[in-house]
Structure 1
Amino acid sequence: MNSPYIPMLAVSVEQVEELAYGALKYIVEEGPDADLFDSTLDRIVRLNDHGRADGKAVALSNNPGSRDGARTTMNCFDEPHRLYLPRQLKAHQTMDANLPKRPLDDPWSLYVGTAGQPGQGSVAEEIHIEATQIAEGKIQRPDLFYLYRTDDDPERDLSDKDERIRAIAEATGPIGEFGPGQFDEIASKWDRPGADGPYLERVWLNRWKRQGDQAFDMKKIKPGLCRSGERIPKGGFITLGFDGARFRDATALVATSIDTGLQELLGLWERPDDDDLEDDGWEVNEAEVTAAVEDAMTRYAVWKMYADPPHWTETVGSWAAKWPDRVEEWWTARVKPMAYTLREYREAIDSGSITFGGEHSHEDFVRHLGNAGRKELKIVDDEGKPLDVLQKQDGRADLKFDAAMASVLSWKACLDARKSGARPPRPVGMPRRIY
């Protein structure tokens, strides 16, 4: 092939260099044809008979814009289950769009990794869903070859170490162990104190499992409770939830239909996922947030807004002054009330009482739900089960979940409205019935 171009994308430059790109660099440098290549930490150039560049492979990380217009012959995506941030998804979209530019060179993409977290919206999950739909006959895609090996035997008792070894062997395939005792060592990880079983199932058994610190069961939410494109109608009787931070994270406004339980993300302001933005002074535009709240107050019949005030104290206060009967401070830092509120929200998901709609914002809404982590408390509920509250998964600052918290507050307000027998306000000018 003349002048092949092979971009290799991973979460970080360090990961690219250590995994697929690093392996390729070692092979060309240590192989019998090392004189045919000029390699550095960020690109490997193939040389022709005259010593001139005749194609290259490059290490990429989260920078799609610079690759617009590339005439790609092969894309390589390393650990695609870790590619889920907006900039990473954009990079994948840009790279995929470049493939048809050289049809005579039979361009293609290679994805290498393990199962990810359900509902996180990663590149791996997109491919997995597509392959599942192909297998079910829902779509046709003759150019997708999907090799997915796992152990999903529902009768497998993972509390038994021998069973775990069999499961690991099945998921690994006929290649077997790379060294004596490898499977036994892997199976022993389940026995360590504090071991995250769902995580181990993902990385060693290739099962799509909710991680132990993931707050919500995304297999129930997506696709079962998702109603992409469905909107709360104008004038609908709703409650609102508001949560967020001004500077380092995100802020969100969520509505819930009191009649149907449909939730919709009305506003989301996220700090850009840019590695260059550290102390840039970025801040949520307060005027935009207030405008979104005002629009919701006029577009819908709002019973209450429950707003978590710590980072928006003065702003929430001004809203309460303008709409004294509709805006209420709801402090999520109150551990026990928050834990019971979260339990009510999960019960709604389990029963299907709540659904998730929205048009352009739907995917962001689901992403935030998948990002939410849980922190188990040292207190139990009335059934003796441990309570928990929301937090970032593994302390990951890039996993924003403010829309999830806002949706929990909105649902709490919805339940309170139903319990109180709330009714939408009578439209101005509507005659009263005289008995």
Structure 2
Amino acid sequence: MGDEPNPTLGDQVVAFIEERCVYGPGSLKGQPARLNSDQKFVLYRAYEVWPLGHPRAGKRVFNRCGMSVRKGSAKTELMAWVAFCELHSEAPVRFNGFESDGTLRQGRPVADPYIPLMANTKDQVEELAYGALMVICQEGPDADLFDVGLDRIIRLGYDGEADGKAVPIAGAPNARDGARTTFQGIDEPHRLYLPNHKAAIETMIANLPKRPLEDPWMLSCTTAGQPGQNSVAEDEYFEAEAISRNEVERPAFFFFHRQASDGYDMDQFDDRVLAITEASGPDVAEWSDIEGIASQWDRPKADKTYLERVWCNRWTQMAAQAFNVRKWDALTLVGEVIPPRSRVTIGFDGARMRDATALVVVDIDTGFAQLEGLWERPEDADDDWEVDESEVTQKVAELMKRFRVERMYCDPPHWNNTVGEWSVIYPDKVEEWWTNRTRPMVNAIGAFIEAIDTGRISHNGDPDLSRHIGNAGKKLTNLLDERGERLWILGKLHPTRKFDACMAAILAWQARMDVVSKPPEKKRGGRAARIR
């Protein structure tokens, strides 16, 4: 099994869609369906099954899948096409055995399908995936196989009787229907954030294992939502991030997300064009009016935060980020480490219980920054979770032994006694540096930005340090710069986004700046020599 790709029914499903589906409402209504490369990729992954010889051979690899793409990428169309296949009496959407060489046989249709399609309100369901599915069933080549209504689409059996159905819902399926789910679609889950919405989704997920012979699954299609709203889409995005960090032991969730990367200046038209193009992907960009979209930023009173979210598919707006992550990434020196016995400074920041605690080391001679310790509160931690003080203290001792530490700046809140003990053990090295002092913090951030802009700082690309750099946002102060603009310090972009390692890096850099700017001390004593 190793690195070999899993067998998939995706190729069969793709072929079926392009042979039997049409476009829903819109300019292409009724025309034959054509999938773009992103949609094909999602379908290939969504219909993967475990290979021959696996304990779960033939079972679905993912029982939940998500697709997150920018506005206007035909994601609702994809949802409707998948629902059509899951409802169709001839679609090859379920495992039907292996050939002798381990390849898949032609897939089979679902027996007695029940397909709830959920959105924020009933009207939105009918306007989105369910409405598209109605058109696909009515105007496609297989219209005689369905009985289409506003409140249900029935699959007709060979005897003309009902043999399964799809329904629009704006809440959880009722208890009777919930046990019958074979596929369920969640349309625009960034709009689902109320407690009853989230309870409905949990109920729907809990229903998935109830018909194991039909291997039920769920698909959600969305655009990035409002950060901090605690929507279903935001939950899925964070879950996918945790999977990418290998924090989930046996993931059963596949998530496809395409966005504009960090570092574009959205005040510049050319940068907006590049960002939207990147977020679109090659196929969608080819038929999109990218420049027309980019020009929307220039409208008076345009909601630029909204525009960046929906057209760049970004949960984090670039204007709100403290640092240019693209510039930071460009300073990566892969594989580099600070040699032992190097002259260094250290930054320490964190909270014992709420967020994270971090140690960052900077080489004084080269400006190379290195994350040396990170203790993060797990998302599912108990209320009494706390960073192990002994681990942090042991790490500090190890750094003091490995390097020639010139100075260590520590933000003392939550660690007052510990920092005090370190200052006794390592006199003339450990110093308190309070980050709640606005003017010194503004200056320290400015020095860090200048180091990034000029390339004076570098790093090894540690993903945790880079993540914390990207998580740091701007918190405006009442102080003004020479141009009359409000100065800012660091703040959270999102309640769950930690940036303590970023703060530790700033403190380590500030310590380095203070060391290199200090004139060398004159040596005392020594032998006198006559100079001729």
TM over 0.5: yes
1:80-123 deviation digits (Å, cap 9, x = unpaired): 79579774324467799879xxxxxxxxx77467546569xxxx
- What does residue 518 of structure 2 align with? 420
What one-letter code is carried by the residue in structure 1 that aligns with 2:323?
F
1:350 aligns with 2:453: yes
Q: 2:241 aligns with which of 80, 86, 89?
A: 89
TM-score (norm 2): 0.53
What one-letter code is carried by the residue in structure 2 that aligns with 1:342?
I
- The answer (yes or no) to whether the contact 2:154–2:166 under 8 Å persists in 1 is no
What one-letter code is carried by the residue in structure 2 that aligns with 1:319?
W
1:370 aligns with 2:470: yes
- The answer (yes or no) to whether the contact 1:237–1:302 under 8 Å persists in 2 is yes
Residue aligned with 2:502, SS: helix
What one-letter code is carried by the residue in structure 2 that aligns with 1:388?
W
- The answer (yes or no) to whether the contact 2:320–2:474 under 8 Å persists in 1 is yes
- What does residue 191 of structure 1 align with? 301
In 1, the alpha carbon distance for the partners of 2:443 and 2:290 equals 33
1:387 aligns with 2:487: yes
- The answer (yes or no) to whether the contact 2:153–2:165 under 8 Å persists in 1 is no
In 2, the alpha carbon distance for the partners of 1:280 and 1:225 equals 38
Q: Rg bigger for which structure?
A: 2
TM-score (norm 1): 0.64
Instruction: State the identity as a percent.
Output: 31
Q: 1:231 aligns with which of 334, 337, 340?
A: 337
In 2, the alpha carbon distance for the partners of 1:54 and 1:374 equals 45
How far apart are 1:3 and its partner, in Å?
Answer: 8.3
- What does residue 409 of structure 1 align with? 507
- What does residue 257 of structure 1 align with? 363
Q: 2:415 aligns with which of 288, 303, 312?
A: 312
1:367-413 deviation digits (Å, cap 9, x = unpaired): 000000111222234565532111112xx220100011111000000
Residue aligned with 2:422, SS: helix
- What does residue 375 of structure 2 align with? 269
Residue aligned with 2:415, SS: helix
User: Which consecutive residues of structure 1, in runs of 5 or more, have no partner in the other structure?
Assistant: 100-108, 120-127, 133-143, 154-165, 170-182, 424-431
How far apart are 1:211 and its partner, in Å?
Answer: 2.5
CA distance 1:210–1:397, change in 2 (3 Å): closer
- What does residue 212 of structure 1 align with? 319
1:8 aligns with 2:135: no
How far apart are 1:248 and its partner, in Å?
Answer: 0.8
What one-letter code is carried by the residue in structure 2 that aligns with 1:283?
E
What one-letter code is carried by the residue in structure 2 that aligns with 1:89?
E
How far apart are 1:7 and its partner, in Å?
Answer: 1.5
- The answer (yes or no) to whether the contact 2:184–2:218 under 8 Å persists in 1 is no
In 2, the alpha carbon distance for the partners of 1:112 and 1:293 equals 39
Larger relative contact order, structure 1 or 2 (CA cutoff 8 Å, min sep 6): 1
Aligned positions of 1:31-430 closer than 5 A: 31-33=152-154, 36-37=164-165, 55-57=182-184, 78-79=222-223, 87-91=239-243, 111=256, 115=260, 147-148=284-285, 166-167=292-293, 191=301, 197=304, 199-206=305-312, 211-222=318-329, 224-274=330-380, 277=381, 280-357=383-460, 362-381=462-481, 385-393=485-493, 396-421=494-519
1:41-89 deviation digits (Å, cap 9, x = unpaired): 6799xx9xxxx9795348788xx9xx9xxx8999656447957977432
- The answer (yes or no) to whether the contact 1:340–1:387 under 8 Å persists in 2 is no
- The answer (yes or no) to whether the contact 2:182–2:217 under 8 Å persists in 1 is no
What one-letter code is carried by the residue in structure 1 that aligns with 2:346?
L
How far apart are 1:347 and its partner, in Å?
Answer: 0.7
CA distance 1:111–1:257, change in 2 (3 Å): same
CA distance 1:37–1:214, change in 2 (3 Å): same
- The answer (yes or no) to whether the contact 1:216–1:369 under 8 Å persists in 2 is yes
What one-letter code is carried by the residue in structure 2 that aligns with 1:410?
A
Residue aligned with 1:324, SS: coil
- The answer (yes or no) to whether the contact 1:377–1:386 under 8 Å persists in 2 is yes
In 1, the alpha carbon distance for the partners of 2:491 and 2:498 equals 10
What one-letter code is carried by the residue in structure 2 that aligns with 1:167?
I
Residue aligned with 2:514, SS: helix
In 2, the alpha carbon distance for the partners of 1:24 and 1:96 equals 30
In 2, the alpha carbon distance for the partners of 1:90 and 1:8 equals 15
How far apart are 1:233 and its partner, in Å?
Answer: 1.3
What one-letter code is carried by the residue in structure 1 that aligns with 2:387?
V
CA distance 1:290–1:313, change in 2 (3 Å): same
CA distance 1:151–1:55, change in 2 (3 Å): same
CA distance 1:237–1:72, change in 2 (3 Å): farther
Residue aligned with 1:403, SS: helix
Residue aligned with 2:320, SS: coil
In 2, the alpha carbon distance for the partners of 1:339 and 1:53 equals 58
Residue aligned with 1:33, SS: strand
In 2, the alpha carbon distance for the partners of 1:90 and 1:310 equals 29
What one-letter code is carried by the residue in structure 1 that aligns with 2:463?
E
Name the count of aligned residue pairs.
348
What one-letter code is carried by the residue in structure 2 that aligns with 1:214?
Q
CA distance 1:152–1:317, change in 2 (3 Å): farther
- The answer (yes or no) to whether the contact 1:74–1:110 under 8 Å persists in 2 is no
CA distance 1:148–1:402, change in 2 (3 Å): farther
- The answer (yes or no) to whether the contact 2:65–2:255 under 8 Å persists in 1 is no
Bigger mean CA offset, 346-355 vs 226-235: 226-235
What one-letter code is carried by the residue in structure 1 that aligns with 2:516?
R
User: Which consecutive residues of structure 2, in runs of 5 or more, have no partner in the other structure?
Assistant: 1-8, 10-57, 69-116, 135-149, 156-161, 187-200, 209-214, 226-233, 265-273
Q: CA RMSD in A?
A: 5.0
1:341-360 deviation digits (Å, cap 9, x = unpaired): 111111111111111226xx
CA distance 1:231–1:84, change in 2 (3 Å): farther
- The answer (yes or no) to whether the contact 2:185–2:218 under 8 Å persists in 1 is no
